[in-house]
Amino acid sequence: MRVKLEEREIETNVKDDALVKQRREEIIQAASKIFTEKGYHLATIRDICKASGLGPGTLYNYIKKKEDILYLIYNQLTMMLTQCLVETIENTKKDPYEQLKEALSKTIDIIWDYQDLILLMYQETASLDRESMHNILKRESDYVALWERILERGEKQGMIIRRTRMDADIIGFLLAFIPLRRWNLKKKFREEEIKSGLIDFIIQALGISKRKK
């Protein structure tokens, strides 16, 4: 039996989809802790088994290799970020400028809560196999496209002035600022200062401003 995980399938010997989801969540939680403590390459399946409370035989019913776990972590993070933007886009009651600020705020909250794993994504992307890499890059493109939709709505309504067509890509890149520079940021600023400062910087640096109706 195979359980489809977005575009990529990960083989499992278990027929109960709910149990597969539960066990993989347990594996993700345990592996995330081990990967951030020891690093992906030094972490072993034995370490993950010990942290998750699952024996090797049980664990291999839900994944086939360590790279599968890395992909599951990537999948979970990208789905969280994507879903956040989808929910914001669906809320059309807010004007586009406020919608953009809300999308930035919610996305930054997720990135803040999962800094270690976001950093892991940047460090270990090359460890994925070709199929996984293709799917992750495709999901990254979809994520940027959602930012593009938010910006386009504001532009059409005359409430957002765009300086460059690379705005959406730049936003995606700048949001990685927190995990990549956290070692220095946390010495100087409080959490809310970092979050609000990044939102203000992105809006101002991209030349995005709110027009009067």
For the stretch 190-210, pLDDT in tens is 999 999 999 999 888 776 766
Residue 3 has pLDDT above 80, yes or no: no
Band (pLDDT 50/70/90 cuts) for residue 126 is: confident
As annotated, the residues of the chain forming the CATH 1.10.357.10 domain(s) are: 70-205
Mean residue pLDDT across the chain: 87
Q: Comparing 13 with 60, which gets the higher pLDDT?
A: 60
Residue 5 has pLDDT above 60, yes or no: no
Residue 155 tokens read as: 């532009």
pLDDT of the residue at 168 = 92
First to last CA, the chain: 56
Superfamily holding 2-64: Homeodomain-like (1.10.10.60)
pLDDT of the residue at 123 = 87
Residue labelled with tokens 């359980």: 3
As annotated, the residues of the chain forming the CATH 1.10.10.60 domain(s) are: 2-64
7-34 tens-digit pLDDT: 578 888 888 989 999 999 999 999 999 9
40-53 tens-digit pLDDT: 999 999 999 999 99
Residue 1 has pLDDT above 70, yes or no: no
Residue labelled with tokens 């809006």: 203
Highest CATH level, class, for 70-205: mainly alpha
Contact 72, 30 (CB under 8 A): no
For residues 41 and 78, give the distance between their C-alpha atoms in angstroms, rounded to a whole number: 22
73-122 tens-digit pLDDT: 999 999 999 999 999 998 888 888 889 999 999 999 999 999 998 988 88
Task: Determine phi and psi for 5, rounding to 5 degrees.
Answer: -115, 95
